[in-house]
A and B are shown apart, each in its own frame.
Chain A
Amino acid sequence: MIQLSNIERYYKSGPLTTWVLRDINLRIREGEFVTVMGPSGSGKTTLMNLIGMLDEPDGGEYFFLNEPVHKFNERKRTDLHKHYIGFVFQAYHLIDELTVYENIETPLLYRGVKSADRKAMVAEVLDRFNIVAKKDLFPGQLSGGQQQLVGVARAIIGKPKLLLADEPTGNLHSSQGEMIMNLFAQLHREGMTIIQVTHNENNARYGTRLIELRDGFVREDRTV
């Protein structure tokens, strides 16, 4: 499903070049549940952004479902992203101006899902996450953990083929975290490909494969 060859990412500030990712070679098959770990600043978020097509590599090749993403323009990338990828951000990133309900609904709108279908899908997700009561609140009125829940709900509502989750349980109470991980495990069983970033060894156990990043290199890559 995903094929990364010699991917590089760096930032230039003046004469200095800061390398964030170097020579990344990865192959991720459909149905895998990958955990990415590594110390802070090792490039995990950057890698997720690249895979999620929110960012472009400075070098190397990226094939998604055998399509050469590195050659695509923004419009085509958005299109792929829109239809196949769900993204959970480390910093939630909800839209402050929209209610919980509307935040969850947004990806469906962009995908052009019909109104009646949208209603049913949002209702189902709200129910599953147990946040029906909060649906008319704005993000500012939620706790950090609740906001993360909404972020996850938003990512999975479109039943993406690939779910990218950047520390989805970082701000959650352990029981809530467990609930999310169980949900991921279930989605994985249903066939969804998942890549998660985490610092938590327990969470890593839900995955089928572990990749460790260090200073922009893949240091370890093993199945569990």
Chain B
Amino acid sequence: MTFHYFKSAVRNLWKNRLYSALNLSGLAIGMTAAILIALWVQSELRFDGYHRHAENLWRIKTDLRINDSETWNWGSTPLRISELCAKVPGLSVTAQVMTPYGNHILLRRGPEYFEEENYGYVSANWFETFDYEFAEGDARGFGEHPNALLLTEGLARKIFGNRSALGQTLHLDSAEFTVHAVLRDPCPESSFRHNLLIPTEAWLRQGSNRENDSNWNNFNYTTFVELRHGTDPKKVGAQLTELLREAKQDSNITLHLGALSDLHFDTSLKDDNFDKGSRRTVAVFSFVGLLILLMAAINYMSLTTARAQTRAREAGIRKAVGGSRVQLFAQFLSESAVLAGSASLLALLLVQMSLPWFSELAGRTFVLPWSSPLLWLLAGGVLAATVLLAGVYPAVLLAGFQPVQVLRGLGGAMGRSGARSVFRQSLVVTQFAISVALLICTIVIGRQWSYIQDKEMGYEREHIFSFEIGWQQFAQLGEERSLNMLKTMKQTLSQAPGIAGVCNANGSPVHIESTHSGSVKFDGLPPDAEPAVSQLSADPEYADFFSLKMLEGRWFENGNAADVNNIVLNETAARGLGLHKPWVGQRFGFHGRDGQVIGIVRDFHFLPLHEKIAPLVAFNAPSWRGSFFIKARPGQHAEAIASAEKAWKQWFPERPFRFQFIDEAYNRMYHAEQQASLLFSLFAGIAIFIAGLGLFGLATFVALQRTKEIGIRKVLGASVAGIATLLAADFLKLVLVAVVLAVPPAYFFMQRWLEDFAYRIELQWWMFALAGLVATVIALATVGAQSAKAALADPIKSLRSE
């Protein structure tokens, strides 16, 4: 019997190739999209979840109250927090990691230097707390050797080529280290991206590090604790806060614990550089994945029930010769199963083929875990859901026909024409409403991104690249030589070939991250107010270099001795801080220097557009400004870079020269979101495509079904245009209803989404109209062609064949 079902299913599917192909491709594409989304969502949700102790691991976070209106949130703690942790009951392990501020680490192997950006100093118990996979050796004994280090395969290959790295020696400054083990490259679902791990002890015994880091005011260690089962993290946080207040004699600090699983999603912290995801994006994509599956299932249902009318006769006969309802149900369901099963296989194939491309798009490597039971569970689940969702209703419908009724040619439950069944109409409306809503979202998101792309930021960023001098290099040179280095470097650069301009500052206008509070003083500032401001240490060339516009007064001048103490504010600072007018000439104290406001610069966007422009204080005091900005002459980028490298090598011959163009930095700032919006458009497109497939199938079917009616109408004198309109009008009405239904939810969600941007577009009626128009055009194109074909057909022929 089962074989019989299978055979007749295959034969039926083959006999109706067009429907089968439409159904199959709709389902397969839908499943492919859903599986890709599921892979991505799963990888986001499982971030850091692979550690054996993941569930009990927590990070200590610090809230530092700056003033009444401002609290800074850090993901780090003082080194000696571990001493306090030891006093808290329920806390079993404390592991710490620290990456010194600012620079890359320099490794030397023989005469060769290698730079690494992702590295960390970790406590001796790090590898007992967190799980790593080893390519060579293991972590046993790591804690006992301060001169041991671990690196990843990738870094090992860079340094040692194909030779085994295990046991080799490397130098950090003058100290000699042995490669203790080689780690596998960080897995995509890990927040820890370190390629090089060194014992904290190796750091502490350098210079005055131990003394510095033992200070309770230095918050530079990320601390993880393992809680014993049943310990309340809130209570531990409170206990730690109490202990720290005693030790540090400071009541402005509150400590609390954040789950390891939240590391990837916690964006509230100022200082944590872990790769961030967004729960909202995860939710949105899960939702879109479900919608796509739903669309595919709806396609299937509307096509199958439309065809049910032709199948009704078969169902009736089968019942009349003894088929029971259950047997018929099984037969029709097995058709769904065969189709959905083939679609699943096709989908797995498509997923496998599109993975490399999808990985690139999503910026993360995905593999289909063929051997993982989870994959098969997922695939099976999707399959079962589709069969149930899409197959049961048509099967019930078909199996339920009264044989006598259908054999008499009465549609029974089916009503009159294929398109007019209320059930099928609501399916089409649902499908198109979802498509239109997704279209609206795509349009709005696209507009917002081009708005960000085109927005006048208030500064120039073309042809400009920058390189940085790290604080270790400054420290090596000492204060006096550092200032000298900055001066000569600037001179050398400004005369070098290919270079149109140079300036030196602590940050580019693309993103000024440095903030400060506590030393701002001016007349009119309430005595206990400590406003937080963004700060920029810049040279006199900075304003012209980046084409910043002055609103009032002037920028710093070369050779003006008073400018050492003077400051320039941006417009937001002048207004927001409540500076007395006239702004220019007001006394202003900053970092202990007393000077005046010499100018107000027009606001420019030095923060991502999610954030409003903040008050900015620019000062000119000679200090360790780590960044050089270089404007290349048009067409001479290569020369300019070569010149900059030459200047760099004069001072730091052992360090590799690294630079970046600032518009790349700019683009990177929005990279994650741009990627998300790209993916969103892609999946929205898929959903709309699936809806189009379904509509096409339905239109074909209805045209076919109404051949007799059309034939009679034509014989009675109806025109081709009139008939095509008649057929298309049915569908267009549905699409219009769908547009009306789609607008309110789309409006609501897009309004919410835009609220995340401090600078954003307004929702306008044309965005909704355009989405409606596109949907209508798609509907017209698919339905229209079929209607025209039906209308043009020879009436005699179609009547005879009835």
Contact = CB atoms under 8 A, between A and B. Distances in A.
Answer yes or no: do A and B interact. Answer: yes
A79 B403 contact: no
B325 interface: yes
B372 to A, nearest CB: 40
14 contacts: A54-B320, A78-B322, A78-B323, A78-B325, A82-B322, A87-B320, A87-B321, A95-B317, A97-B15, A107-B322, A109-B1, A110-B321, A110-B324, A111-B322
Contacts of A96: 314
A55 B407 CA distance: 11
Nearest to A96: B314
A155 B324 CA distance: 16
Contacts of B317: 93-95
B180 interface: no
B318 A49 contact: no
Contact of A106 (B313, B321, B404): B321
Nearest to A99: B11
Interface of B: 1, 4, 8, 11-12, 15, 313-314, 316-327, 402-404, 407
Nearest to B409: A91
Given A89-B320, A95-B317, A95-B318, A74 B4 contact: no
A107 B403 CA distance: 15
Contact of B404 (A49, A74, A78, A155): A49
Given A89-B407, A109-B4, A112-B1, A78 B318 contact: no
Contacts of B326: 75
Nearest to A104: B321
A44 interface: no
Contacts of A106: 318, 321-323
Given A82-B324, A97-B15, A109-B1, 4 more contacts: A54-B407, A95-B317, A97-B12, A110-B323
A163 to B, nearest CB: 13
B408 to A, nearest CB: 9
Interface string A54-95: 110000000000000000001100110110000101010111
A155 B322 CA distance: 10
B314 A95 contact: yes
A106 B317 CA distance: 10
Question: What band does the interface of chain A fall in when counting residues whose beta carbon is under 8 Å from B?
Answer: 20 to 34
B11 A97 contact: yes
Interface string A95-117: 11110000000110111100000
B8 A54 contact: no
B638 to A, nearest CB: 71
Contacts of A109: 1, 4
Contacts of A78: 319, 322-325
A9 B327 CA distance: 29
Given A54-B403, A97-B12, A75 B324 contact: yes
A154 interface: yes
Nearest to A110: B322
A9 B8 CA distance: 36
Nearest to B403: A54
Contacts of A107: 321-322
A81 B313 CA distance: 19
B423 to A, nearest CB: 22
B contacts with A: majority SS? helix
Nearest to B12: A97
B362 to A, nearest CB: 45
A110 B327 contact: yes
A82 B326 CA distance: 13
A96 B407 CA distance: 14
A201 to B, nearest CB: 27
Nearest to A83: B322
Contacts of B319: 54, 78
A110 B321 CA distance: 8
Nearest to B328: A110
Nearest to B313: A93
A78 B325 CA distance: 8
A89 B319 CA distance: 13
Contacts of B403: 54
B323 to A, nearest CB: 5
Instruction: Name the residue among A110, A111, A112, A155 with the largest chain B CB count within 10 angstroms.
Output: A110
Nearest to A115: B3
Nearest to B16: A97
A91 B407 contact: yes
Contacts of B4: 109
Contacts of A155: 321
B320 A75 contact: no
Contacts of A154: 321
B324 A54 contact: no
Contact of A55 (B322, B323, B324, B404): B404
A98 B324 contact: no
Contacts of B325: 74-75, 78
Contacts of B318: 95, 106, 110
B324 A97 contact: no
Instruction: Name the residue among A91, A93, A107 with the largest chain B CB count within 10 angstroms.
Output: A93
A155 B314 CA distance: 16
A94 B321 CA distance: 10
In the A-B complex, the 6 residue pairs with the closest CB atoms: A82-B322, A110-B322, A55-B404, A78-B324, A107-B321, A93-B317
A112 B407 CA distance: 25
B304 to A, nearest CB: 15
B629 to A, nearest CB: 75
Nearest to A111: B322
A54 B326 CA distance: 16
Nearest to B310: A96
A128 to B, nearest CB: 18
A158 B323 CA distance: 13
B507 to A, nearest CB: 74
A82 to B, nearest CB: 4
A96 B314 CA distance: 8
Instruction: Name the residue among B316, B321, B327 with the largest chain A CB count within 10 angstroms.
Output: B321
A223 to B, nearest CB: 30
A94 B324 CA distance: 17
Contacts of B313: 93
A107 B323 CA distance: 7
Nearest to A90: B407
B400 to A, nearest CB: 9
Contacts of A97: 8, 11-12, 15, 314
Interface in A105-159: 106-107, 109-112, 154-155, 158
Contacts of B324: 75, 78-79, 82, 110
